[in-house]
Structure formats: structure tokens, C-alpha cells
Amino acid sequence: MLWQTTRHSVDLSRPRVMGIVNVTPDSFFDGGRHLATDAARAHCDRLVQEGADILDIGGESTRPGAHAPSEQEEIDRVLPVLEHACTLNVPVSVDTSSPALMRAALAARADIVNDVRALRRPGALDAVASHGSCGVCLMHMLGDDPAAMQQAPAYDDVVAAVSTFLQERMHTLQHAGVDVGRLVLDPGIGFGKTQEHNWQLMQRQSELIRLGRPLLVGWSRKSTLGLLIGREASERLAASIAAALAAVQRGAHIVRVHDVAATVDALAVWRRSGLVA
């Protein structure tokens, strides 16, 4: 299966690793904006050296309680890093819900828009549809506010709800003229879901694969893993690798991870063992 993006057609016949570059105050900003930009650019270089197939660059923390930056602040954080990433010969994704940042990133030749709100903000669908060839990751989130999404999330059947939501968003985009070959889907692990909901989404991932589009999943260092093993985010490497492999075994095409080198190595061994297609 191929995923059409702005400059690259991504071959998904083997699992791909999307490396996370967070340009948020809790990541690189300790020494001020200039140093933060330099550090984030160096992080992009490092992830590519480690074997990342795709870079995903974002400036809004979606952790519950995190301060939401203004649109201009988000652009100022992300764009200088993204412009550098676009020189590195891998597809570059912009992780944003802001239509203004989507347009600026696409003008700078970004390949993919990764929107945790699945283009539901006014103007977002238009920013992508008017581009003509960028890839899009449509993710499920309960509601559209990360600050509120973990307040007693409830579903009759979480997998059915996520599946229906993704199908509806996919149809809306196609209706707006976005070719289906540009779309990948994402269940949004941890976005308005309890631990049990997240594990249901893993165990019944095949139902999402049946929607017919590539699946991207992000389990890396998330609290569902931490609660299972009783470890802080910085100590969740082994659990993150295991979750990535389990998701790929169940048909996921792209894993979004912090720890690129370890994930690439684990996938190489696992593929060689004959377990993965």
C-alpha cells in the first residue's frame, strides 16, 4: 500500500517509524527560543540518523492541563524547525490543528498534516483540500478539547465509535475533494479513553484495519503503559517497544514514537523473524 504525500509516496508494505519532535516549552525551551530551535533541529537530524522514516513536528502539547499556545506562537515555534526538517530527505509531518500553521507548513513543503482533531477546526479542512497532494492523518479524539477529554470518557463500544468517527471524517474529506490515497487513520490512543478503552483498541485493531486505509498508532510512553507496569514516562521504553510491535503485528502500518533507534532495531529483528509481512 502507498501513502501519497506532498513530495514522497510512502511505501507501507513494511512498517514505518514516525519520529516525534515536540517543540513545546516542556521539551527544548529551557534556554530560550533560539536555543530551542537549534536543539529541535539537531533532534530532527538525530532521529533521521537513527532511521526515522517520517518526522512529526508539533508545537502544541495535548497533555491535559497544558497551556494552549496562540496560533502565532505555535507557528513561531514550529516553522523554523520544519523548514530544516524539509531538507533531510524524509517525509515531514506537521502536528497541528491550526489552519494557519497547516497553510504555512504546506507552503514550506511539508508532506503531511497530522491533526489530533481530524480537521474539525474551522478552516482546517479547507487548508488541506486546497493543497491538492499532502498526506493527512485523521485521529480520533473524544470531543475536541484535550483539557476535557479525560473527564470520565464513556462509550457503548469504543472500537465501534472510533471506527464510525474515522469513517465519517474520511467521507467528509473525500467529499471536499481529498483523494482517499492521501489519508491514514489513527485511533488516538489516550485521547478521551480509559485504560480499558485503549486496550480494547489494541485487541480489536483489526476492525480499524478493515476500514481500508493505513493505520498509524501512537503508544509511545503513554500513561496506559505506565499504569500497566507502574513506571514514569522516562522508564517506559521497553513497554513502548512492546506496544509498537504488538500494534504492527495486528496490522498497524506506522508507529509514532519518541525512541526511534530502539524501535527501528526491534522492528528489524522482528521482521527478520518472519512474524511481520
- Which residues are known to be catalytic? 222, 256
- Closest to ligand 9MG by CB, 104 vs 216, is 216
CB of 116 or CB of 264, closer to ligand 9MG: 116
Our CB check for ligand 9MG shows the closer of 95 and 111 to be: 95
| Least gap, CB of 101 to ligand 9MG (angstroms) | 13
Q: How far apart are CA 231 and CA 196, in angstroms?
A: 18
Least distance (Å) between residue 86 CB and ligand 9MG: 19
Is the CB of 31 or the CB of 63 nearer to ligand 9MG?
63
Q: How far apart are CA 186 and CA 205, in angstroms?
A: 10
Q: How far apart are CA 101 and CA 131, in angstroms?
A: 13
Q: Which residue has the cell 478552516?
A: 123
Q: Total binding residues for ligand 9MG by CB under 6 A?
A: 13
114 binds ligand 9MG (CB under 6 A): yes
Decide: helix, strand or coil at residue 81: helix
Is residue 218 part of the contact set for ligand 9MG (CB under 6 A)?
Answer: yes
Closer of 36 and 95 to ligand 9MG (Cβ): 95
- Shortest Cβ 137–ligand 9MG spacing (Å): 5
Q: Helix and strand tally (H, E) in the chain?
A: 10, 10
Q: Which of 74, 95, 111, 259 lies at the binding interface for ligand 9MG (CB under 6 A)?
A: 95
Binding of ligand 9MG by 116 (CB under 6 A) = yes
CB atoms within 10 A of CB 62: 20
- CA distance readout (Å), 120 to 29, 110, 127, 242: 29, 20, 12, 32
**Closest residue to ligand 9MG, based on beta-carbon distance:** 218
List the x/- string, 172-191, binding to ligand 9MG by CB under 6 A: --------------x-xx--
List Cα–Cα distances, 52 to 12, 87, 145, in angstroms: 14, 14, 29
Q: Please, which of residues 31-90 interact with ligand 9MG by CB under 6 A?
A: 58, 62
Q: 113 forms bridges with which residues in the sheet?
A: 94, 136
Is residue 216 within the footprint of ligand 9MG (CB under 6 A)? yes
Single residue of 103, 169, 256, 258 touching ligand 9MG by CB under 6 A: 256
d(CA 110, CA 90): 10
- Pair 19, 52: CB distance under 8 Å: yes
The Cα 217–Cα 260 span in angstroms is 14
Does position 137 interact with ligand 9MG (CB under 6 A)? The reply is yes
Closest CA to 48 of 88, 3, 108: 88
* Distance in angstroms (rounded) separating the CA atoms of residues 75 and 71: 6
Nearer to ligand 9MG, 40 or 116 (CB): 116
- Residue 272 CB, shortest distance to ligand 9MG, in Å, is 27
The binding site for ligand 9MG (CB under 6 A) comprises 58, 62, 95, 114, 116, 137, 139, 186, 188-189, 216, 218, 256
